[in-house]
Amino acid sequence: MNAEAMRVPVHAEPEPPDYAAFLAEQLQQPAALVARHDWQGQRLWVKRVGQPHPAWRYRLLAVLAQVAGVPVLLPVPNPGGRAAIATEVRRLRALAAAGLRVPPVLAACADGFVMRDLGALDAGAAPQPVRNLGNALEQAIPQGADVVLLHWQQGWAALRRVHAAGQCLSQAFARNLVLCPDGEIGFIDFEDDPAAHLPLALCQLRDALCYLHSTAWIVARVQALPQAQAIWADWQQGLPESARQALQQARQRLRVLRHLPTSRRLGRDAQRLRLAWQLLAQEAG
């Protein structure tokens, strides 16, 4: 056998995906501001620049929060446009560096970025379906209080991990907490940066209030408010002293919410605020 015949064929390694080229191509085409793409066996999301947001509405909300004397409710500006894209890319990378579960940013430019779906964190993994925690809580209502509270506690545990890492979310509503295929919770939507405008303790308290507001009606629906109040009271034990003081101030200023009617004559939002107050009023044990 000659040397040529004995030569072992060498297979070239496949070229890594060119995410920057993919992003550039997508940004040249008309599409929604956030669009899903199944590309080269991966599930990706492209987020592109939108219109700038007017600053006046944030100034108005700031005045209202100051008049009410509740600094934790001060609005966090989201300027939109390229600034929002830059903020989200920066925050996603910072949260990932802190060990938190967020969509990996694969390529970015001034006009948009591409990130991998939370249903497949590895490039070679087949994408799996994910649900946001808000949907998971609603879908658990027919299964009763125990299942709802199990999901609800997952959200609180996820917030605790974020805060233990010295971080905060942007809008910690249940819809922005995502149940991943392995059971862990990931986080999405970071167009604003609360910590650039408020002390970190207030930002972390905002996370808790956003979560309370978006979920109180669900635990009330399954008649689990007493159990939820105990969970919330226990969670408060980990708040720093500055956040506890801000929370106590918010309780005093927002006591008017307890007078909202139980009927729907003021709409569903008023009902949700009243139910959120029932949890907010529960102090740490």
Residue 9 lies in a domain: no
Residue 12 lies in a domain: no
Residue 190 lies in a domain: yes
Residue 26 lies in a domain: yes
At 177-203, the pLDDT tens digits run 999 988 899 999 999 999 998 899 989
Instruction: Kindly report the number of other CB atoms within 10 A of residue 60's CB atom.
Output: 11
Cα-based angle 133, 92, 217 (whole degrees, multiple of 5): 20
Query: Could you tell me which residues come within 8 angstroms of residue 197 by beta carbon, excluding any fewer than 6 positions away?
Result: 74, 76, 77
Please, are residues 221 and 145 in contact by the beta-carbon 8 Å criterion? Answer: no
Residue 10 lies in a domain: no
Residue 6 lies in a domain: no
Residue 7 lies in a domain: no
Please, are residues 130 and 180 in contact by the beta-carbon 8 Å criterion? Answer: yes
How is residue 178 annotated by DSSP?
A: E
**Strand ranges, E, within 152-277:** 177-179, 185-187
State how far the Cα of 120 lies from the Cα of 125, in Å rounded to an integer.
6
**Strand ranges, E, within 26-144:** 34-39, 42-48, 105-109, 112-116, 131-132
pTM of this structure:
0.85
The count of domains in the chain is 1
pLDDT reported for residue 95: 98
Residue 218 lies in a domain: yes
- Per-residue pLDDT tens digits of the chain, which is 285 residues long: 455 555 555 555 667 899 999 999 999 998 899 999 999 989 999 999 987 765 544 454 454 455 455 556 666 777 789 999 999 999 999 999 999 999 999 999 999 999 999 998 776 777 788 999 999 999 999 999 999 999 999 999 999 999 999 999 998 999 999 999 888 999 999 999 999 988 999 899 989 988 998 999 999 999 999 999 999 999 998 888 888 888 888 787 777 666 555 555 545 666 777 787 788 777 776
Q: Which two tokens stand for residue 74?
A: 């001060």
Distances (CA, A) of 74 to 60, 90, 103: 10, 22, 28
Q: Which domain holds residue 185?
A: 19-280
Instruction: Kindly report the number of other CB atoms within 10 A of residue 243's CB atom.
Output: 22
